[in-house]
Amino acid sequence: MKGGTSRTGCTDQGFECVRTKAKTYLPNPKVNSVSVQNERIVICSPHFDDAVLSCWSLLDREHASTVVNVFTGAPSSDFTYCYDQQNGALSSAIHMQQRAAEDRHALDVVGKFPINLGMLERQYRLRPSPWLHKLLRFAPLLRYALLRLPFLDSALHSIAPPDVVQLADAITRAVPDATSIWVPAGIGGHTDHMLVRQAGLVLAARGLKVCIYADMPYLLRFGWPRWLKVADRERPVDRASAYWAGYFDGLVKPENLIEQARVVHLTPAERLRKAEAIRRYATQFDPVNAGRVNSLLRREDALAYEVFWELESLNAKASKGR
């Protein structure tokens, strides 16, 4: 998560498309059945906190899990970029050092040490223009719109995003013995999350086992889907499920997304440890806990579940449905 205000990157067009097709389904989520024994699990975390936010159960339960943080590079100048300004930073370069230290402190809760790939996250690819960042900081709705207009890309950015094939190569080089790669679904539409997911698809095409995780806190835009709590009963696809499915690029129907989901229920003790780890991202704590979407530690059940999919089963289901 980065720039974690309540403004998630919803592609409304995709959401509407799925919602109008919503009918009913027979939910059969595989509760607590993520099969990861004897694997070297690599959790690809776009930003420092994403692995903790979305894959805590893997970190807490699986000894052989490793975190690869992707967008961890610091800008070369002393400029302060818009999201960092919002978080009270005076220099983005120094702020990134703090964030890296916070990440090590958070992962200490489960005795892990991350691998950082050093790529520049979205805000650091923007032009370091004081007026632009002032505008983006104080007009979040405008920022939401501007950053999603492709024809403004070259005007707003001075650095291109990494090529997804090179990103996939970098992940492979960082952890050559990985047996499974876990990438975000991209729920919320954050560019950096989508890039890591795309890299995951490249790795899957090379024969690696790839799993997808639901992105916290963006997934909570419409709360948890009802099927997480009510199994074995026919229920209509609800708004949250349709919202999630809208980010799977039409690859799968909401019914298949639900049927193939691996839902992990965190125990009370695991929730407490996860909350402690989240608090250790001190500079990011307020954005993560502000607004309608991001009130992670104030919502009673926000840390109750994590949701995963095996890409291969999603693809198999999708091709059967065609």
- Residues near Zn ion, by CB under 5 A: 1-2, 46-47, 50
Q: Which is nearer to Zn ion, 229 or 292 (CB)?
A: 292
Q: Do 233 and 226 meet the contact criterion of CB atoms below 8 Å apart? A: no
Helices and strands (DSSP H and E) totals, the chain:
16, 10
Q: Tokens standing for 155?
A: 């005007």
Compute the distance between CA of residue 161 and CA of residue 122 in angstroms, rounded to an integer: 8
Nearer to Zn ion, 50 or 255 (CB): 50
Residue 300 three-state SS: coil
Minimum CB separation of residue 9 from Zn ion in Å reads: 11
Nearer to Zn ion, 52 or 136 (CB): 52
Q: How far apart are CA 236 and CA 96, in angstroms?
A: 44
Mention every residue, 6+ apart, whose C-beta is less than 8 A from residue 284.
1, 2, 4, 48, 49, 87, 99, 102
Q: How far is the CB of 188 from Zn ion (least distance, A)?
A: 9
Q: Would you state the structure tokens that stand for residue 259, as one six-digit string?
A: 């049927």
CB 52 → Zn ion: shortest distance, Å?
A: 11
Q: Cα(22)–Cα(140) distance, rounded to whole angstroms?
A: 31
What is the closest distance, in whole angstroms, from the C-beta atom of residue 259 to Zn ion in the complex? 27
Nearest distance in Å: CB 11, Zn ion = 17
Nearer to Zn ion, 114 or 254 (CB): 114
Among 252, 221, 227, 321, CA closest to 24? 227
Nearer to Zn ion, 47 or 133 (CB): 47
CA dist 93 and 83 (Å) reads 13
**Residue whose C-beta lies closest to Zn ion:** 47
3-state secondary structure 272-283: HHHHHHHHCCHH
Q: Which is nearer to Zn ion, 46 or 200 (CB)?
A: 46
Nearest Cα residue to 225 out of 284, 305, 159, 135: 305
Tell me the closest approach of the beta carbon of residue 130 to Zn ion, in angstroms: 25
> Would you state the torsion angle of the CA atoms of residues 126, 249, 163, 154, taken in this order, to the nearest 10 degrees?
-30
Structure-token pair, residue 56 = 């805590």
Least separation in angstroms between residue 99's CB and Zn ion is: 12
Q: Are 58 and 43 in contact (CB under 8 A)?
A: yes
- Specify the residue, 116 or 256, whose C-beta has the smaller distance to Zn ion: 116
Nearest to Zn ion of 85, 294 (CB atom): 294
Backbone angles phi, psi at 223, to 5 degrees: 80, 180
CB of 75 to Zn ion, least distance (A): 17
- Closer Cβ to Zn ion, 64 or 101, answer by number: 101
Least distance CB 253 / Zn ion (angstroms): 27
Residues 6+ apart with CB under 8 A from 28: 231, 232, 258, 259
